[in-house]
Amino acid sequence: MIYGLVIFVSAFLLFLVQPLIAKQILPWFGGSAAVWATCLLFFQSALLAGYAYADVITRWLSIKRQAMLHTALLIVAAFMMPIIVAGHWKPTGDEEPISRILLLLAATIGLPYFLLSTTTPLVGAWYWRRHRSSAPYRLFALSNFASLLALLGFPFLMEPWVGNQQIAIAWSALFGVFVVLCTIIAWQTVRHGHAVEPAASGAPQGVKAPAEGPGWLTWMTLSGMGSAMLLGVSSHLTQNISSAPLLWVIPLALYLVSFIVAFDHPRWYLRWLFLPAAAVLLPLMAWLSDSLDLAKVTPIYALGLFAVCMAFHGELARLKPGPERLTSFYLAISVGGALGCLAMAVVAPLVFNGYYELYVVLAVSAATGLFMPWGRTASWRLAGRVAAAVVLSAVVGASWQGIATYGDRVRSMERDFYGVVRTRDSQGDVVFRSMIHGAISHGGQLLREDLQMAPSTYFGPASGYGRTFSSLPEGPRRVGVIGLGAGALAAWARPGDHWVFYEISPAVVRAAKAEFTFLAKMPGTHEIVIGDGRLALERESPRQFDLLAMDAFAGDSIPTHLITREAMAAYVKHLKPDGVLVFQATNRFVDLMPAVKNLADAFGMQAVLVSDSPDFDSGPEYWLSTTDQVIVTRNKAILEAAAVREVATPIQSKPGLRIFTDDYINLVKILK
């Protein structure tokens, strides 16, 4: 049926464009997990605008005027193809990122995305106008199924094999097909929209009359809680592994599956299964919120997200009105979804100086159980509310413990678009102060006066950095560092050196200056460039660095745009012919070594791995960390220096792993 086909195609395009366009702009904004959260805010807001448009025109315009207006907008949108972001949107480093991302998305995909978002409610209303013998709610399940195919298809079927621009061109061509099909439906509805008259009773044959019950506020709340839970889980995963389409789409796919199951047929929503599952998993998610054992945490969070969204969306489906209120119902759902995204992506970072919103959404989700319709009898209602109160108490208790752990021994805490920066003191023979960005230490310092410039954490004497610095020729050096952290790498500075630190987060710079003394005490001179390091290097004239340190990999969430061929070209541009690149490749989940080797091979350089595992049992060096660092250079003297040669190991190529580019990154291939 053509109505179902149009809804299927529009939903497929609607959700394929989300990771597609976000991946295009991710390198411009530091590869931050917040980029995806901001994109989701735009997508939900555009969806709200589309649903509002559908509701307004079906209420106030005749079917012929609806067709004329919609056809005109479709034609305008067709001339905006292809959906490839213009280069002039690249930030220079001092822009406010959220507003720039929203403006960029509006200019690039605003009208096409808006029109795609109108399709499910608008075509559903047209379908109802022409075929009043059946309800169109299964079309909503169909649209979510198409969305799911697009989401899962992108990281598993498209991204590993096809470049981003090729996908964008194919998307644009399919959008042209959608324009034609949607125009045909609009004018078919004009011709045949009055062919079937409503039954005399006012309730069409085969369709139940809408039951009286909760309305807009309840619909918005249930939808908004599902949306907030989606962002909470997505942020938790992407902060700790990588901000990449693979980890964006899995939570979003689970979210969509819950819509599909809930709205396909009432028999699929089993309250006796999903409500108890949510009641068990909500406290467990709160309890594990500070765990870095992602092999255990990720499945639990995935199950928790699905169970909680099934509960919210199942209750939402139970409360759906008759088809004559179809567009209002969809509008309420979209308002709730947009508000949930707004709360998590914009309000929470402004209100909280730490990452606390996950605890809030878990607690509020549990609290909604106090208002659920638990049964027809007073005893059932009381039992349900008592059970909900127990679950809420467990979630609050576990959250309180997580918040206490999060703030334990923290001296300072600041949050910006790129994450939460904390400093923490640890007691030992000498007090050690560390900087924690997200959940991972980004350098630290011994506080005793005579030890403040001692190499520490990932930069000890036996690390790849330590061995490379000790192997460089005598004399002043020019050093570039992408990723300031605490400034701990400056322990290797010497008189006459000039160092350039590239740091995207102003909060990190403030903490490095206020809480640590590396920058103040380092010999030689230094400068700090605010903004994404790769973009800054692309803009600048060649710096002629002796060493360029890629230290944006100290955490487990990697900015993949720093390991592409285009990024490597920028690095090589700033290196002396015999200069050295050192990549921080310490990571529990992603194997960066083969990807870096591909880059080295492509530019005629050699890459070796230096691993360092300090013996914490036999020595007092609690300020050092286990590290994996890759040295990349054409300078054979560096590679043959005793400090490097005695520990360096060759890196094996990974069969089938292509060189990463801005257009092609296959994260699946390098997951450990």
Q: What tens digit of pLDDT does each residue of 421-445 get? A: 999 998 778 899 999 887 677 889 9
Q: How confident is the model at residue 196 (pLDDT cuts 50, 70, 90)?
A: very low
Range of weakest confidence among 284-293, 387-396, 418-427: 284-293
- Asked whether the predicted pLDDT for residue 206 surpasses 50, the reply is no
Distance between CA atoms of residues 316 and 312, nearest Å: 6
- How many Cβ atoms are within 10 Å of 320's Cβ, its own excluded? 21
Average pLDDT score over residue span 395-401: 94
Token duo for residue 502:
């590239």
Look at 308 and 262; give whichever has higher pLDDT.
308
Whose tokens are 């199942």? That residue is 314
Residue 464 has pLDDT above 80, yes or no: yes
CB 381 within 8 A of CB 374: yes
Residue matched to tokens 């103040």: 520
For the record, the structure tokens of 274 come out as 């999903």
Radius of gyration of the chain, Cα coordinates, nearest whole angstrom: 28
Beta-carbon count within 10 A of 433 CB: 21
Q: What is the pLDDT of residue 140?
A: 64
pLDDT recorded at residue 6: 87
Question: Is pLDDT of 203 > 70?
Answer: no
**Averaged pLDDT for residues 205-209:** 40
CB 667 within 8 A of CB 604: no
Predicted confidence at residue 93, as pLDDT, reads 64
* Mean of pLDDT values over 255-271: 83
Pairing of strands 575-584, 545-550: parallel
pLDDT of residue 74: 94
Q: Which of 624, 609, 641, 477 is nearest to 548 (CA)?
A: 477
**Residue 518: its pLDDT value, please?**
96
Element (H, E) at 611: strand 606-612
**Torsion 484-489-493-497 (CA) sign:** negative
| pLDDT for the residue numbered 32 | 66
- Bridge partners for 90 per DSSP: none
pLDDT of residue 76: 95
- The answer on pLDDT for 210 being more than 50 is no
Alpha-carbon separation of residue 473 from 422, 488, 525, 579 (angstroms): 37, 21, 19, 11
Helical (H) or strand (E) element with 481: strand 478-482
Q: Name which of 519, 510, 499, 502 is nearest 453 in CA terms.
A: 519
State the average pLDDT over residues 383-406.
91
Crossing angle of the two packed helices 33-60 and 326-342, in degrees rounded to 10: 160
Pairwise CA distance, residues 651 & 246, whole Å: 26
Whole-prediction pTM: 0.79
Measured torsion, CA atoms of residues 28, 34, 35, 39, in degrees rounded to the nearest 10: -160
Using the 8-state DSSP alphabet, how is residue 662 labeled?
S
pLDDT of residue 127: 76
C-beta atoms surrounding 497 within 10 Å: 19
The predicted pLDDT at position 466 comes to 94
CA atoms within 13 A on the CB side of 631: 34
Q: Is 376 helix (H, G, I), strand (E, B) or coil?
A: coil
Average pLDDT over residues 243-272: 78
Q: Which residues, at least 6 apart from 332, have a Cβ–Cβ distance to it below 8 Å?
A: 215, 216, 219, 220, 223
What's the CA gap between 130 and 31, in Å, rounded? 47
Q: What Å distances lie between residue 197 and 67, 130, 152, CA to CA?
A: 20, 9, 41
- Point out the least confidently predicted range of 148-162, 270-284, 591-605, 611-625: 611-625
33-60 vs 2-25: helix axis angle to the nearest 10?
150
Q: Which helix (H) or strand (E) holds 167?
A: helix 164-192
In angstroms, how far is CA 176 from the centroid of its own chain?
A: 29
Q: Which pLDDT tens digit goes with each residue over 496-546? A: 999 999 998 899 999 999 999 999 999 999 999 998 888 899 989 999 999
Rounded CA-CA distance 409/423 in Å is 9
pLDDT value for 307: 95
pLDDT of 209 reads: 39
Q: Which helix (H) or strand (E) holds 148?
A: helix 137-153
**pLDDT greater than 50 at residue 155:** yes
Structure tokens given for 489: 């790498």
Residue that has been written with the tokens 């509701």 in this structure: 55
For the chain, the distance separating the N- and C-terminal CA atoms, rounded to the nearest angstrom, is: 45
pLDDT band, very low/low/confident/very high, at 618 (cuts 50, 70, 90): very low
Pairwise CA distance, residues 236 & 136, whole Å: 36
Question: What's the token pair of residue 259?
Answer: 């819509």
Q: How far is CA 357 from CA 183, 222, 353, 396, 505, in A?
A: 43, 18, 10, 13, 21
Separation CA 625–CA 588 (nearest Å):
13
**Tokens at residue 539, please?**
């803009």
| Residue 139, number of CB atoms within 10 A of its CB | 25
- In whole angstroms, what is the distance from residue 194 CA to residue 613 CA? 77
pLDDT at 556: 52
Q: Would you call 386 helix, strand, or coil by DSSP?
A: helix
The average pLDDT across 369-391 equals: 82
State the Cα–Cα distance between residues 260 and 563, nearest whole angstrom: 37
Structure tokens at 456: 């520490």
DSSP state string for 590-609: B--HHHHHHHHHHTT-EEEE
Residue 243 burial (10 A CB sphere; 0-12, 13-18, 19+): buried
Q: pLDDT class for 554, splitting at 50, 70, 90?
A: very low
Alpha carbons 76 and 65: distance in angstroms, whole number: 17
Whether the per-residue pLDDT at 220 is higher than 60: the answer is: yes
Q: What is the mean pLDDT of the chain?
A: 85
Portion of the chain with pLDDT greater than 70, in percent: 89
Is 442 in contact with 422 (CB distance < 8 Å)?
Answer: no
- Residue 120 has a pLDDT of 81
Task: Report the distance separating Cα 70 and Cα 591, nearest Å.
Answer: 49
Residue with the bigger pLDDT between 5 and 94: it is 5
> Which of the two residues, 368 and 247, has the higher pLDDT score?
368
Joined together, the tokens standing for residue 515 give: 């809480």
For the chain, how are helix, strand and coil distributed in percent, rounded to 5? Answer: 60, 10, 30
Band of pLDDT at residue 157, cut at 50, 70 and 90: confident
Query: What single DSSP character describes residue 324?
Result: G
List the beta bridge partners of residue 650.
Answer: 608
Helices then strands (H, E): number in the chain?
22, 12
Read off the pLDDT of each residue in 405-410 and give the average, rounded to a whole number. 87
Query: Using CA atoms, how far apart are residues 294 and 438, in angstroms rounded to an integer?
Result: 14
Lowest-confidence range among 8-22, 86-100, 275-289, 636-650?
Answer: 86-100
Res. 208: pLDDT tops 50? no
Asked if 32 and 417 touch (Cβ cutoff 8 Å), the reply is yes
Tokens 């981003």 correspond to 164
